Chain A
């Protein structure tokens, strides 16, 4: 099957005056870019100055007297049992989220795309995206109201059906807590991912499907040979984003739902940084942990990008 590629006229940059003249003539477009640019400068680049704290013996009471100590904070950090545990949990939770959470929006969007009834389709779309707008604090309350073995909804249902035995305490059981983290993450976020894939599905040329039907392709063949290849670029870009976030296992979620009973399996780098920095005033150690996390995250993005570039040059970001 060959596709006709329409040639797009390159941007009409006037030769006279060069780039600045072009900016002047299209200043409205550049003006629209300014708020975004300012956001990144103010909230992302200027605060990077604070990274220097990671290399200092920083004292929040008297920052002027902080001294440079090189990589001492990193050595101290890596030797801490708490950090080692947080790093391990971080990787395990993130990988679980990636393996389970990444394909589900793709599967959901493909399923929703197959729904014929317009109203039912809208209803399902709305239903899956709604949890995305519920905060983790509220979700924690909902989970507690549902899973509490003493007063939760499941206990009530068990009582109604006459079961008086013990129920697992999912929220305080170390064996089940990571599953709670992963599945509640999937429940909350799958909807938003689905919308992205649905948008990509909308952009697939309908003629491809018509041609495939003419050639005798069934639904499954259409999925394998048209839908998934057309989604490939979107999948790779989103996978790259996701891999870049592997070092960020979800502070909002874990901070809201964790408790001392499950800290050993739920403490991640972000919660470690919060505790060490804001609760214990060890800002230098916390910054070192945050910097370590960012550098690893950046390396992961670059590696994924390089792999994407090799497999599908159009999907890579840089």
Chain B
């Protein structure tokens, strides 16, 4: 009996020790920076271990072919953590608080990046960038225009390519079926959406289609064109600030046309011609409605619907056909917010990184022509073959013609992390999409106060105020009560939760940039 007791005691103690040690050193959480986990080989032949935080909705296994190829070409061993855009802020803040930042990551706001720099969390990259040919070629002198690099010391890298503007993608096969023309203004858009919803455009005899697909859960892309028609600038992360006549820089909710835009969205919502689930449906599920032939119009950057998802994502046979609408607003202009330099997301290297040279080498590969092609199209000979590299034509090798399969093997997953001036994606777009991209770029005419300087109120209240904007938008669109009254209450709430301070700080920051 005594013996059994001793064995049991020993087992209990062993279990406790294991549990405690597991709590103290969780190697499997994948969040440690190399400061905690990384050991760079003293031998220069050894691959450098680098941890990287990638934002996106794809989570391929660590053994994916693209990652392996990147590692082979850059002599690195990468440990990738994936996080969705919606969870990125909380993930990064947790890592900051725990002092376990990954070696390479992107920061979504200039304020955060400034704070990190000021507190010694970022590695200075000047020395390594100087010898990185692709970074120099793509960012050149522009690199020192970034607020973090103003003093000539390089801390931040950013996309050389500007972001895509949004297109109102309209199914032309459905237009034919319901006997409508491509919409050109808000009224004709409503008519088309109504017909898409109630005139059985898919011809299956069921009431199972919706005019406008939309989701606000992940981002604001799906509302950009209509907001733009009212002269309100927005992009994927939300409303852009606006400047009042007295010079105050404030939330886009205070734009003089905001309530009018809300009334239009409300009309769509009440008529059932806009996805009634827009506030609750996850981004990928809202894409699914487009892919499965349930929605006929989708406000999104056209490389998705007409190029990257075409044809494998679509389940209908024949696959849908699209074209793009320029929606003119009350002022007779179709517009979107002006595109300014893509300072965010800002790509940085943690000061905990034990091999900043290797980190920059990896980022340099990302923005090289070959690197970007690998990240966007996959491994040549495995995922795709060039037909004419110069002309940007290629064929996809089966089974990677299926987007899910190819993304599961790493294709496309890392290509948005740091983009060169002319991306492989831009070079290989089909003609329709190229036209759509050019059309959207031309519409980017709305002036809005682009603030690239960090200010305290933005650090303290910025994220919460963004949440309030999203909440207010959803609640006003679905409101059954007195819209004007609810709008005033919403503005009062925004102001009471730091909005007033934000206005003051934003105005000063914007003026200081001039």
Instruction: Give me the interface of A with B, judged by CB distance under 8 Å.
Output: 27-28, 31-32, 34-35, 38, 42, 60-62, 79-82, 144, 148-151, 159, 164, 166, 169, 171-172, 174, 259-264, 274-283
A61-B121, A166-B272, A264-B471 known; A42 vs B23 contact (CB < 8 Å): yes
Bound Cα distance from A79 to B8, whole angstroms? 56
Supply 8 A–B pairs (Cβ within 8 Å), ascending by A. Answer: A82-B497, A150-B277, A159-B208, A172-B474, A261-B475, A279-B89, A279-B463, A282-B464
Contacts A259-B217, A281-B459 given; does A276 touch B12 at CB 8 Å: no
Is the beta-carbon distance between A282 and B276 smaller than 8 angstroms?
Answer: no
A31-B12, A35-B12, A264-B475 are known contacts. Are A61 and B280 too (CB-CB below 8 A)? no
In chain B, residues 118-149, which have Cβ atoms closer than 8 Å to a Cβ of chain A? 118-119, 121
User: For residues 92 through 107 of chain B, which have their beta carbon under 8 Å from a beta carbon of chain A?
Assistant: 93-94, 96-97
Q: Main SS of chain B's interface residues?
A: helix
Whether, in the assembled complex, B429 has its beta carbon less than 8 Å from a beta carbon of chain A, the answer is: no
From A79, A82, A277, residue with most partner B Cβ within 10 Å: A82
* CB <8 Å contact, A34 and B206: no
Residues of B near A159 (CB, < 8 A) are 206-208
- A280–B12 CB distance below 8 A: no
Contact of B471 with A28 in the complex, beta carbons under 8 Å: no
Q: A61 and B206: CB pair below 8 A?
A: no
Task: Quote the shortest CB–CB distance from A48 to chain B (angstroms).
Answer: 17
Q: Taking A149-B276, A150-B275, A275-B467 as contacts, is the C-beta distance between A61 and B93 under 8 angstroms? A: no
Q: How far is the CA of A32 from the CA of B13 in the complex (A)?
A: 10
B497 and A261 contacting across the interface, CB-CB below 8 Å:
no
- Asked whether B59 is an interface residue with its Cβ less than 8 Å from the other chain, the reply is no
Bound CA span A259–B467, Å: 11
B339 close to chain A: CB less than 8 A: no
Give CA–CA (A115, B15) in the complex, Å. Answer: 42
Are A261 and B280 neighbours in the complex by a CB distance under 8 Å? yes
Cα separation A278 to B86 with both chains bound (whole Å): 12
Q: A82 contacts B464, CB within 8 Å? A: yes
B357 CB to nearest chain A CB (Å): 25
Q: Which of B97, B467, B497 contacts A60 (CB 8 A)?
A: B97
Instruction: Return chain B residues, CB-CB under 8 Å to A276.
Output: 464
Contact at A278–B90, with CB atoms within 8 Å?
yes
Q: Are A61 and B116 in contact (CB under 8 A)?
A: yes
Q: Return A62 CB to nearest CB of chain B, in Å.
A: 5
Q: How far is the CB of B288 from chain A (nearest CB, A)?
A: 9
6 smallest A-B Cβ distances: which pairs? A261-B279, A278-B90, A260-B474, A61-B119, A259-B280, A280-B463
In whole angstroms, how far apart are the Cα atoms of A27 and B2 in the complex? 12
> B340 CB to closest chain A CB, in angstroms?
25
State in angstroms the CA–CA spacing of A276 and B459 once bound together. 12
With a cutoff of 8 Å between Cβ atoms, the chain A residues found around residue B272 in the complex are 166
B342 CB within 8 Å of chain A: no
Chain B residues within 8 Å of chain A by Cβ, number: 55
A80 pairs with B471, CB closer than 8 A = no
**Given known contacts A35-B15, A169-B276, A278-B94, A42 and B20 CB-to-CB distance under 8 angstroms:** yes
Residue in contact with B16 in the complex, picked from A38, A260, A275, A277, CB distance below 8 Å: A38
**Which chain A positions have C-beta within 8 A of B89?**
278-279
By a CB distance below 8 angstroms, the chain A residues around B475 are 174, 260-261, 263-264
Say yes or no: A279 contacts B93, CB within 8 Å.
Answer: yes
Residue of B nearest to A278 (CB): B90
- A274 partner residues in chain B, CB cutoff 8 A: 90
B470 contacts A280, CB within 8 Å?
A: no
Q: With A259-B217, A260-B470, A260-B474 as known contacts, state yes or no: A172 contacts B276, CB within 8 Å.
A: yes
Contact B279 A260 (CB under 8 A): yes
If A151-B289, A276-B464 touch, does A259 touch B90 (CB 8 Å cutoff)?
A: no
Q: Mark B459-494, 1 if CB is under 8 A from A, else 0.
A: 111111001101101110010000000000000010
A279 touching B474, Cβ below 8 Å: no
Q: Is the CB of B463 within 8 A of A283?
A: no
CB distance from B135 to the nearest CB of A (A): 26
Task: Please tell me if B294 contacts chain A, counting CB pairs below 8 Å.
Answer: yes
Interface residue ranges of B1-53 to A (CB < 8 Å): 5, 8-9, 12-13, 15-16, 19-20, 23
In Å, the complex CA distance between A81 and B472 comes to 14
A35, B12: Cα distance in complex, Å: 9
User: A80–B496 contact, CB under 8 A?
Assistant: yes
Q: Which of B239-279 contact A (CB under 8 A)?
A: 272, 275-277, 279
In the complex, what residues of B have CB within 8 A of residue A31's CB?
9, 12-13
Q: Are A171 and B280 also in contact (CB < 8 A) when A61-B121, A279-B93, A281-B93 are?
A: yes
Cβ distance B296 to chain A, nearest Cβ, rounded Å: 13
- Chain B residues whose CB sits within 8 angstroms of the CB of A81 once the complex forms: 493, 496-497
Across-interface contacts of A172 in B (CB, < 8 A): 276-277, 279-280, 474, 478
CA distance A81 to B279 in the complex (A): 22
Complex Cα–Cα for A211 and B92 (A)? 66
B115 within 8 A of partner (CB) = yes
- Docked Cα-Cα span, A282 to B119, in Å, equals 17
Q: Which residues of B contact A28 (CB under 8 A)?
A: 5, 8-9
Cα–Cα, bound, A280→B493 (Å): 17
Closest partner residue, chain A, to B465 (CB atom) = A280
- Contacts A31-B13, A172-B277, A279-B464 known; list 7 others, CB within 8 Å: A61-B118, A82-B468, A82-B497, A159-B208, A260-B474, A261-B474, A281-B93
Q: Across the interface, which residues of A come within 8 angstroms of B474, CB to CB?
A: 172, 259-261
Check B348 for interface membership: any CB of A closer than 8 A.
no
A263 near B280: Cβ-Cβ < 8 Å: no
CB neighbours of B207 from chain A (8 A): 159, 164
For the complex, is B160 an interface residue (Cβ under 8 Å from A)? no
CB distance B276 to A275 under 8 Å? no
Residues of B within 8 A of A80 (CB): 496-497
Q: How far is the CB of A280 from chain B (nearest CB, A)?
A: 4
